Amino acid sequence: MNWYAIRAIYAQEMARTRRTVMQSVIAPVISTSLYFVVFGAAIGARMHPIGGVSYGSFIVPGLIMLSLLTQSITNASFGIYFPKFTGTIYELLSAPVSYLEVVLSYVGAAATKSVLLGLIILATAGLFVPLRIDHPLWMTAFLLLTAGTFSLLGFIIGIWADGFEKLQVVPLLIITPLTFLGGSFYSIDMLPGVWRTIALFNPVVYLISGFRWSFYGQADVAVGISLGVTCAFLLLALAVVAWIFRTGYRLRP
């Protein structure tokens, strides 16, 4: 394993975040804080607790997951797309660096940035609503697993995209709606029977449910199922990445 190469690419990606801290960190934190102000303080004060948890506290895991999913995809997709756009990716592919090392570098950097952002949002949420974390180790596990999985998805999108506008298609038109419909602001147990059944086909439901369980010990679906779905999605993303490098899809002219 070429750890020197991994550190070099990883450091380059992390340096890009420091250069764009306003866009990468401050903007997502401010936008999420507005959710806490509006839904947590203004609207949440007028809503009944859900499962014994105040509404403002209830939505915290969903909002963290919303930022985590979108930022993981955005960071990873832009990180690998920019070398494609400038043509420097061919230098990377011809260097003595394995495909595994390339993936570890870019995906690791994207996941690191997303996890740090998630922790900052978690700390910010504590300023607006009361919080408790019943299972901190499981919270960390879900955080890392989700960030890694969706950073892999972003890596795939970055290779697939042939224009900057396509980098935003999946986060804005697919991931964000699925997250809003996946129980970020409500429990799917509140839905009528038919709609609850339909909601269970939304994979984001399992991510949010498992993550919320680590906070308050309550979940819309069994925690084991949430963990299994997340791991299955991770394995699928790994399989797609392996196929991309084996075939050279969108990498070779």
pLDDT for 110 equals: 94
Distance separating alpha carbons of residues 192 and 237, to the nearest angstrom = 33
Distance separating alpha carbons of residues 171 and 168, to the nearest angstrom = 5
**pLDDT tens, per residue, the chain with 253 residues:** 788 888 988 998 898 877 777 877 888 888 888 887 777 666 766 778 888 888 888 999 999 999 999 999 999 999 999 888 888 888 887 888 888 899 999 999 999 999 999 999 999 988 888 889 999 999 999 999 999 999 999 999 999 988 888 888 888 889 989 998 998 888 998 888 898 999 999 999 999 999 999 999 999 999 999 999 999 999 999 999 999 988 888 876 6
DSSP letters for 147-188: HHHHHHHHHHHHHH-SSGGGGGHHIIIIIHHHHHTTTSSS-G
Task: Enumerate residues 6+ apart whose C-beta is below 8 A from 87.
Answer: none
Q: Helices 223-247 and 203-216: crossing angle, nearest 10°?
A: 130
Q: C-alpha angle 29/33/37, rounded to 5°?
A: 175
Distance separating alpha carbons of residues 250 and 253, to the nearest angstrom = 7
Largest CA distance in the chain: 60
Residue for token digits 């509404």? 55
pLDDT for 21 equals: 78
pLDDT in tens, 153-203: 999 999 998 888 888 888 888 998 999 899 888 899 888 889 899 999 999
Question: What is the DSSP-derived secondary structure letter of residue 133?
Answer: -
Residue for token digits 């804005």? 172
Comparing C-alpha atoms, which of 211, 18, 14, 54 is closest to residue 122?
Answer: 211
pLDDT for 253 equals: 63
Are the C-beta atoms of residues 244 and 156 closer than 8 Å to each other? yes
